[in-house]
Structure 1
Amino acid sequence: MKRRSFLTGASVGGIAAAASALSAPAIAQSRVEMVMVSTWPRDFPGLGTGAQRLAKRIQEVSDGRIQVQYFAAGERVGAFDAFDEVASGNAQAYHAADYYWKGKHPGWAYFTSVPFGLTENEMGAWIHHMGGQELWDELAGEFGLKCLAAGNTGVQMGGWFNKEINSSQDLKGLKMRIPGLGGDVMAKLGASPVSLPGGQIYENLVSGAIDATEWVGPWNDYFLKFYEAAKYYYYPGMHEPGGYDSLGLNKAWWDKLSKSDQLLIKACASEETDFMMAEFNANNGTYLRKLTQEHGVQLREFNDDVYDAFGRASAEVYEEVRAHSDLANRIHESFAKARSDVGAWMKLSEGAYYAQRNRVLGL
């Protein structure tokens, strides 16, 4: 019995020792390093803090097994260098607005937001249920990337102007910071679009290097202090009605992840999309009051003449995009069908409800 007990004990001890010897290397091998760069300033409310929150969340949900090292714009590479940094494999992920890459292919713009495009609710329908993600995968794959929605800012403001915009003629000669296809629309109307990362807009607006700028909405714009350089704040923005942020991942790195790690990252990105949108909605009203009541900002609505001009110019821009390539044309056609189908429903549902609720309550 003693011999049997000894052998049993020895066997258990041997198994435990073997398990111990194997567990350390196994744990070490399962650790994943993830460098994330972004196009946003560090700690910038909404966009910057959202990207930082996503990086932290991925690490937390994985119990630290996925180690995320986050770099804000300029800390590792410049804001607009994030794409190449990840596509090359020097970093594993970026957080950005994919319309920044439209110079590489115009199809990228559709996966942030485009003129007369989709709202946040409509974007979700297109991406998740109407073929949008598959087209995004096809486009991103051509550049060695995999992209996921990871934030949304909702319907954006039309921008800050140093003069009133009473007709489309007032846009001629205007130097305006506006990226994506929205910038192309402004160019059609005689403006000079400029693409600048968020951290450089204020200095250019104050110095007069640009005459106008769009950014996001009252919450973000308040912290960039645009009210110090321009007093006319226009709405609504035709250029970005539901701007998705993107978690862009190096595809070779992504493909090597386990399915569970891929699902974990997808879940964190999806959570951030919902959380960021809610955060913008919670803050924009408060900061709009601050801008108008504390800083004398004058709120203006683009009139029908200006909006009709935006519409005509947008139609020209879209024809040029469709002529670019088969993929660009397929992206546009898929987007346009979603805008028609989902938009018709939203007009009868949310649109009609907002109009009647606000009328009754005097909002």
Structure 2
Amino acid sequence: MKNLSNILAVSFKSILKNKRRNIFTMIGIIIGIAAVITIMSLGNGFKKTAADEFSDSGAGKNSAIINFMTSSGEGAKENPFSQQDIDIVKQVNGVSSAKIKENDDTGYSAKMTNPQKKGDVSILKKATMDTPEKGQGFDSDDNELHKKVVTVDDKIAKDVFNKDALGKTLYIDGQGFKVVGIANDAMNPSAVNMPSKTFDQYMSNLNQDLPSLQLTVQDGQDKKDVAKKVEDALNKKGSGVGDGKYTYNDTEEMMKGINKVFDGITYFVAAVAGISLFIAGIGVMNVMYISVTERTEEIAIRRAFGAKARDIELQFLIESVVLCVIGGLIGLILGILIGSLVDAVTPDYIKSVVSLSSVIIAVGVSMLIGIVFGWIPARAAAKKELIDIIK
């Protein structure tokens, strides 16, 4: 152990003697490792985001989602998941619990009943809507107080209020709500935003356009088998049988397939970026050969004092590994910083997740480069005999 610590100390001294040359040698390793870490962290971020989305859609370990689709493809007129349907589902062997699942991005179908204009609207539940395009919107206090306020989009403002909607009353299913803002949603035309607690008090009888039922499967039960049994039971006795069909989609299998695609793309791009590591390894080998040539006198002195060929080989091999590991650690830090920067610039689209495997790969690859490309120069140094050097 003492001998190894001495070799490490000598390695650092040797590297510091030629700082500029060794820094340029490490640049290739730094760039290669940084590129690989950045790509892998962003790939892991995509996988985590996808996993979170699918988990919310029922891809959890003991969670499954039953959907209902009408024969026409339009929204369901009546709730296809009544309390009777839920009771039927709970009787299926393997089901622990069942509840109607709400999707925050899906609206609730309702009827606009203003004298000037009647028609269908989609109500979106919101905790707050304090940054509308026009008007003041509503805040958390309005939500807590169950105030009957809403924001509408330009289409409703034009059709119902001739573009003068602020302060007017919009009637939904016969109930009046004050318009406090104009807010458009490209994904939901004819959309009305309403405080969620106001909705729960006054509009709780409404259904989402695409309702779904969330199951919790008992531990030890096969989720897919239980979900299929629920699907069959509802398609026989469910309240929506006459209007459409109940279906179960195995989102967990879909998630696994998407993860495989992400992994394939990530590893392929990382491998392409890793080509620079091979080039950097050639640079390390070249520098080590130069170092062996420059330190012939040092090798001679060490051999004269009884150093064996194995000691000389180990000395130069460790120097190569130390050089590469330092470059790898710098590249690791740089890759994490780049990933974090991308995360900060595009927080809604790209997430960066650095895993332990990424860190192990960075350090391991660096050491491997040092060993592979440092071994040949180290062997050359070990083969130098004292008598040959004196000649």
- Using the size of structure 1 for normalisation, the TM-score is 0.21
When Rg is computed on C-alpha atoms for both structures, the one with the higher figure is 2
